[in-house]
Structure 1
Amino acid sequence: MSPPILSLRGVRKSFGPTEIIRGVDLDVQAGERHALIGPNGAGKSTLFHLISGNLAPSAGSIVFDGQAIAGWSPQRINRRGLGRSFQITNIFPKLTVFENVRIAAMQRDGVQYTFWRRIEGLASIRARTQALLEQVRLQARATTLAGELSYSEQRSLELAMTLACDPKLVLLDEPMAGMSTEETQYTLELIHAVTAGRALLLVEHDMEVVFSLADRISVLVYGQVIATGTPDEIRNHQGVREAYLGEEVAA
């Protein structure tokens, strides 16, 4: 088997005397969809911050695409091929949908705006922006201000911005939070389509989404991974049922 695209070993994170992440080992294989689940306060978002460079671990190693990245800046990790979305939508509401995605595409190509070089003249970036909007089904909303989109459309826009760096690994933090059943189904199908061929690490509380999307699931409880396995293995894991899923959900 090829080495994992992401590998964590003995990762710990403390804030003063309080240890939030307590020796996490986790592997994500290239091309797999891997879900990270656990109760509120388990440390899921903190672990995402450690992987994406928003926080540095107190101990342990994080290897992404063959490189030890612990302590790297988020920008450097992003350029290595890791794209991330957040729990709270992270867009520019006063810019159009097209402009939001174009900014992300410019960052991927290392392009910055200068007064002597019009952005509109960069044909490759414009073409990539249009392709991303088509991929997330927002081409008809290209000229709409991002702040005027529905909530699910804003999450789709953020997904396009995440994909703009052409990531090898996509991190999605609760992408279905606050959505209706219809919006959840739409977003689930979208994520399934746009992450094809990429590795995905997903934090999500909707168990129907997790069990239908993930190839493997890891369960984080009080800062430790207590189980990793296929959806069926996690459903039938007694420790997981007792710590998180509960008998009714697991059944």
Structure 2
Amino acid sequence: MSAGANKIALSLREVHKSFGEAHIIRGVSLDLSEGERHAFIGPNGAGKSTLFHLISGQFKPSSGEILLGQQPIGGLAAERINRLGLARSFQITNIFPKLSVYENLRLGVMQRFGLQYTLWRPVSGFSRVRELTEQLLEQVRLTRHRDTLGGELSYSEQRSLEIGMTLASDPKVLLLDEPMAGMSREETDYTVDLLRELSAGRTLMIVEHDMDVVFSLCDRISVLVYGQVVATGTPEEVRSNAQVQEAYLGTEVNV
């Protein structure tokens, strides 16, 4: 973690979410420090994606409080939360397949400056947009694919492009939902290295099923079971937790 790790970037305080009689999130409380890489793990149906929806504004909490820094964000619209400094990617790759890599990233940068609806001036005239788009191309290692259509990229490259579009808003907190899903081991290793670089100076929260990724990438891990956090700690603490091993990890965990 960075030197600013004592400052709280994201805070969840007794967050609950119910759909009718179904209680999905049951009193989650957690603080994430600035610069921390934090993973949520747990069995299918534990509520991990629902929790991400609550933090990023797709769902409104039934009760409890979510703060981005000192700013309450629970129940705010996703666009407002993004402008406040939190960005999120989804399980399913969300890019524009018929636009080039450069055009995909440029749209993300334009949105950051409120220029996505600018129709009366050529985009090429915005030097700052060009500059930041070029920086993103380099950061996500896609410079050689700048003119390739998004839909023609490999799966891991599409995920890299999506992460780049997520970073276009320059978020302080980045949420990634199963970023390694469907990747080969080689693609996964590449993406882990990329995330280490791209998350520097940011707070990263991921949902991920690949335990090798979780244990090697993250500073802390929270285990979610039936909508409740049953354990939070360093990778070593979580791996040695007998309750966690029995409930989720199994008796043998390889790091």
Which bin holds the TM-score, normalised by the shorter protein? over 0.9
Task: Name the CA distance, whole Å, in 2 between partners of 1:186 and 1:95.
Answer: 24
The one-letter code of the counterpart of 2:88 is R
Task: Name the CA distance, whole Å, in 1 between partners of 2:249 and 2:16.
Answer: 25
The one-letter code of the counterpart of 2:148 is T
TM-score by length of 2: 0.96
Task: Name the CA distance, whole Å, in 1 between partners of 2:60 and 2:124.
Answer: 38
- Once the two structures are superposed, the pairs formed by residues 99-178 of structure 1 within 5 Å of their partners are 99-178=103-182
Identity percentage over the alignment? Answer: 65
CA contact (8 A) 2:37 2:203 kept: yes
In the TM superposition, residue 226 of structure 1 has moved relative to its aligned partner by 0.4
CA contact (8 A) 2:25 2:47 kept: yes
- Once the two structures are superposed, the pairs formed by residues 21-36 of structure 1 within 5 Å of their partners are 21-36=25-40
Greater mean alpha carbon deviation, residues 1-10 or residues 39-48: 1-10
Flag structure 2 segments of 5+ consecutive residues without an equivalent: none
Find out whether 1:60 has 2:60 as its counterpart.
no
Say what the alpha-carbon RMSD is for the aligned residues. 1.2
Find out whether 1:211 has 2:210 as its counterpart.
no
Task: Name the CA distance, whole Å, in 1 between partners of 2:6 and 2:114.
Answer: 30
TM-score by length of 1: 0.97
Task: Name the CA distance, whole Å, in 2 between partners of 1:70 and 1:3.
Answer: 20
Task: Name the CA distance, whole Å, in 1 between partners of 2:96 and 2:49.
Answer: 22
In the TM superposition, residue 250 of structure 1 has moved relative to its aligned partner by 6.6
Flag structure 1 segments of 5+ consecutive residues without an equivalent: none
Alignment-derived partner of residue 84 in structure 1: 88
Alignment-derived partner of residue 183 in structure 1: 187
* Count of paired positions: 251
Task: Name the CA distance, whole Å, in 1 between partners of 2:208 and 2:6.
Answer: 27
Task: Name the CA distance, whole Å, in 1 between partners of 2:16 and 2:254.
Answer: 29
Runs of 4+ aligned structure 1 residues displaced above 2 Å come to: 112-116
Task: Name the CA distance, whole Å, in 2 between partners of 1:67 and 1:243.
Answer: 35
Find out whether 1:42 has 2:46 as its counterpart.
yes
Task: Name the CA distance, whole Å, in 2 between partners of 1:77 and 1:42.
Answer: 24
Task: Name the CA distance, whole Å, in 1 between partners of 2:199 and 2:43.
Answer: 25
Task: Name the CA distance, whole Å, in 1 between partners of 2:186 and 2:19.
Answer: 39
CA contact (8 A) 1:236 1:250 kept: no
Task: Name the CA distance, whole Å, in 1 between partners of 2:223 and 2:44.
Answer: 12
**Which string of whole-angstrom CA distances, capped at 9 and with x for unpartnered residues, describes residues 48-89 of structure 1?**
000000000111100112101011011000011111111000
